[in-house]
Structure 1
Amino acid sequence: MSAMTLPIAAELMKAACESCLEAGTLALDLFRPGAQTAARTWAKSGGSPVTEADIGVDTFLRIRLSVLLPEAAWLSEETVDDAQRLTHRFVWVVDPIDGTRAYMSGSPDWAVCVALLDAGTPVLGIVHAPACDATYTAVRGAGASRSGETIRTSLADRLAGAKIAGPKPMLDMLAQSENFEAAGKIPSLALRLARIADGTIDAGLISPDARDWDLAAADLVLSEAGGQLSDAAGRSVAYNRPNPVHGMLIASNNALANPLLHAVERLRDGRTQPV
């Protein structure tokens, strides 16, 4: 089975990006900067929040993207999972609003995320953050961009002084042995990775329980910008598995990948001093 060619992926990107921009406009209609959303909200069965904007954007994108590539299956945070996706070569992976809590509270750090998988590998990725006026895009083998401008990760090669984002407990754990600059927690996982991709920050930690839809689009943006996302054992993230849930993950530019991985390994082993 040959991989999707670059021209085909680039053509799909153009149409998919247009759909994401429209989806972002739909979400902005109910977004209130610095205030609670005007959207109706409720809790899903697991307790996580959802808004009418999440559902509206999900429905809109499913219609649009299904027309672009009818043979592709669908995996989304707001749609009941269909195991038939496991038999498909192509899968759209969508998070209509990554960072729903941020969206609800008026923080701009949320994004519409779309990835296309080809045999489990992201070949197209879009992270559209309309409240930040930023759209990150990547096609496998063609680099990554932010609102049309090529982006690259930072050149930081030491943990000392590096800007690292993540949940406070994880940053506190890392601070036991490393002297870095805590960049706080960026609510949207996709934006956390995208800001590593554009060099705003150098690395990020992701606690267990992230899903394919949180990661796939931004993973491609990051890798095409010169960075990498891995699990705590240094393995690349695998997508379109029966269970889309992931464990602890580590993201950084390529130069920091091994130092950060080794620091996390030491802490997980109970060793707080560098070796």
Structure 2
Amino acid sequence: MSASMTPDAVRALLPALRETIREAAALALPFFRAGAQTRARVWSKSGGSPVTEADVAVDTFLKVRLSSLLPQAAWLSEETIDDALRLGNDFVWIVDPIDGTRAFLSGHPDWSIAVALLVGGEPMLGFVHAPVTDRFYEAVAGGGATCNGHAITASMQDRIEGARVTGPKTMIERLARGATAAGVKPAMIPIDRVPSLALRIARVADGTIDIGLVSSNARDWDLAAADLILREAGGAVIELDGEATTYNRPDPVHGELVALCGGVREAVVDAFAKHG
């Protein structure tokens, strides 16, 4: 299948996609209890990570609706058994029905629904919706990024010193040690960790975080939608050596990553090189 989708065809999908994601949120919200345990049934998947009936309901709904919007697209999501047919398909939906399930089940507001469309292996459309706070991040490749319809850009921070950073404590400590070894004052401003990886990256895109660190074992569905949003906002999601993330590989698991505004990219890569 040839990877081609005209700009008009992309724009034609947007209204239905927005409505679909909001309908998916409406399925999940009745199970959410702010500051309290979810009303949903909870069980453990292989490996011990939790899943709720809300995850499954949203996943099922999105698979039906998104497949009807673009029948030729393959599917990759957290709650669906992987199908290797996606590897030979130029169009792939990548979905996390609830990114930040532990936050969802414990009553923390920072969970999201993340939807991306890959075309030729690259994100073409990206949506991250935080239902509790009603923040809807969106991007189309080449068209910029928005939150609730308003254009967003990553911050203009150009040094590690004074950067607002969030993520795993051990990675923050390594970044600080590497910055010190590079002769940089590593005084960073810590931001509370954002449980949803998609939201963590989206908040780099909207300029409220400068550096978002991501531990190893993130999956395509945690990253692809927010990655595009951040790219379109002027930042990037990169591996510690500065290489860009890639998607729709046989194994959709990633190593350690950094989401950052463009101005700190060189300094962050240099710091991790000195103490990676």
Report the TM-score range of the alignment, normalised by the length of the smaller protein: over 0.9
**Cα distance in 2, alignment partners of residues 10 and 49 from structure 1:** 36
Letter in 2 for 1:56: A
Query: Structure 1's 2 and 55: CA in aligned 2 closer, same or farther, altered over 3 A?
Result: closer
Q: Give the Å deviation of 1:2.
A: 5.7
Which consecutive segments of 4 or more residues in structure 1 shift more than 4 A? Answer: none
Partner residue, 2:227: 219
Q: Give the Å deviation of 1:192.
A: 0.5
Contact map agreement 1:6 1:141 (CA 8 A) in 2? no
1:23-64 Cα shifts (integer Å, max 9, x gaps): 111111100011110000000011000000000000000000
**TM-score for both structures, normalised by structure 2:** 0.95
Q: Give the Å deviation of 1:168.
A: 1.4
Partner residue, 1:256: 264
Which of 200, 203, 219 is the aligned partner of 1:192?
200
**Cα distance in 2, alignment partners of residues 7 and 227 from structure 1:** 26
Determine helix, strand or coil for the equivalent of 1:259.
Answer: helix
Matches within 5 A, 1:1-275: 1=2, 3-176=4-177, 177=180, 178-268=186-276
**Cα distance in 2, alignment partners of residues 107 and 29 from structure 1:** 14
* CA-atom RMSD in angstroms: 1.0
Determine helix, strand or coil for the equivalent of 1:84.
Answer: helix
**Cα distance in 2, alignment partners of residues 72 and 172 from structure 1:** 41
Unaligned runs of 5+ in 2: 181-185
Contact map agreement 1:162 1:181 (CA 8 A) in 2? yes
**Cα distance in 1, alignment partners of residues 55 and 216 from structure 2:** 23
Letter in 2 for 1:15: A
Q: For this pair of structures, how many residues does the alignment match? A: 268
Determine helix, strand or coil for the equivalent of 2:31.
Answer: coil
Contact map agreement 1:204 1:250 (CA 8 A) in 2? yes
Contact map agreement 2:114 2:222 (CA 8 A) in 1? yes
Determine helix, strand or coil for the equivalent of 2:236.
Answer: strand
Unaligned runs of 5+ in 1: 269-275
Letter in 2 for 1:40: R
Contact map agreement 1:111 1:128 (CA 8 A) in 2? yes
Contact map agreement 1:113 1:217 (CA 8 A) in 2? yes
**Cα distance in 2, alignment partners of residues 223 and 247 from structure 1:** 19
Q: Give the Å deviation of 1:93.
A: 0.2
Q: Give the Å deviation of 1:13.
A: 2.2
**Cα distance in 2, alignment partners of residues 171 and 185 from structure 1:** 11
Letter in 1 for 2:210: D
Letter in 2 for 1:188: S
Determine helix, strand or coil for the equivalent of 1:24.
Answer: helix
**Cα distance in 2, alignment partners of residues 6 and 180 from structure 1:** 41
**Cα distance in 1, alignment partners of residues 208 and 7 from structure 2:** 28
Contact map agreement 2:3 2:120 (CA 8 A) in 1? no
Contact map agreement 1:13 1:139 (CA 8 A) in 2? no
